Amino acid sequence: MKAAVITFPGSNRDGDVARALRQAGATVVSAWHADHDLPAGTDLAVLPGGFSYGDYLRCGAIASRAPIMDAVRAHAARGGLVLGICNGFQILCESGLLPGVLMRNADLHFICRRQHLKVARADTAFTNRYHVGQVIDVCIAHGEGNYVCDEATLHELESEGRVAFRYCDAAGNVSRAANPNGSLNDIAGVFSEDLNVLGMMPHPENLIDELVGGTDGRGLFESLAAA
Amino acid sequence: MKARVTVTLKQGVLDPQGKAIEGGLKSLGIEGIGAVRQGKVFDIEVESADKAKAESVLRDACERLLANTVIENYRIELAE
């Protein structure tokens, strides 16, 4: 597994996601937003968290028009894997690789804390080390994570099983009370139609070491490393 | 040619920022405020002096960057 972590001006979680991938056994290379091609042999393109272009205009809007994104779109169209975390998820939505948009959190607060997620499917390249219904403890750190799409798209996502994770409480109850940001149907992450693109607001790369309080994020990177 | 592009949230899209501003106005005691929706204004200098050409450039700019048409509408005004 060769993963290319793309850095945009304002990305700040590129180092962490690279570390998580390496720990899981992946080979990690760097890519720059102004590049026109992904490094040769890239299996997985990673759009890390951060504040690309200072969140100017709309979160992810300007990054989604960067030269490297044409290469990411072509990679996805060939069936290549793409992972977007937090700002990376926002970039994927803005680029049209995933439907919908991440709007301002319903309560307007930037929320930075631990958050439980329920794994919605475990038969994908991203989640095969988890099991369906598993509750994982990761982190969230965002001001714009309120997933919104039109009703037809929501129906499509739900009926095609394209929700990857939902916000839940420690006991695994998915509810409005456990939803930190107002996301439709408590959605924390979504897949593309062919399940080769995943966008998620939470940060699994934060929870890969007992030293920082948990390792529930490892499953995602171990799934990918084995893909 | 000078132009102004206004981007607003589509009807039905929740606008938590507009709601917060609405609350702020009410807490200032400003009477008579109904609902507030927040949008964006772009003042743009267009190179073309031809109105139709300028409008088509701006439309392209709106569709490809200035607005996210999943949630936003845009309006283009050209200075006379």
Q: Do A103 and B14 touch (CB under 8 A)?
A: yes
Q: Which pLDDT score, from 0 to 100, does residue B17 have?
A: 87
Q: How far apart are CA A16 and CA A220, in angstroms?
A: 14
Q: Do A61 and B68 touch (CB under 8 A)?
A: yes
Task: Give the nearest chain B residue to A100 (CA atoms).
Answer: B70
Architecture category of domain A2-225 in CATH: 3-Layer(aba) Sandwich (3.40)
Q: How many domains does chain B have?
A: 1
Reported residue count of chain B is 80
What does the pLDDT average to over A50-79?
96
pLDDT above 90 (res A173): yes
ipTM attached to this prediction: 0.84
pLDDT above 90 (res A177): yes
Going by pLDDT thresholds of 50, 70 and 90, the confidence category of residue A130 is very high
The residues spanned by each domain of chain A are 2-225
C-alpha torsion sign, points A95, A98, A100, A102 = negative
Q: Which pLDDT score, from 0 to 100, does residue A179 have?
A: 97
Return the residue in A56, A57, A144, A147 with the most chain B beta carbons within 10 A, the one to mutate for interface testing: A57
> Which residues on chain A are in Cβ contact (under 8 Å) with B68?
58, 61, 94, 101
Residue with tokens 């990376």: A88
Q: Do A61 and B13 touch (CB under 8 A)?
A: no
Give the model confidence (pLDDT) of B11-38 as tens digits: 988 888 899 899 999 999 999 999 999 9
| Residue B58 belongs to domain spanning | 2-78
What does the pLDDT average to over A15-36?
98
Q: How far apart are CA A60 and CA A77, in angstroms?
A: 20
Q: Which pLDDT score, from 0 to 100, does residue B14 have?
A: 84
Task: Give the nearest chain A residue to B72 (CA atoms).
Answer: A101
Give the model confidence (pLDDT) of B43-80 as tens digits: 999 999 999 999 999 999 999 999 999 999 999 999 87
Reported residue count of chain A is 227
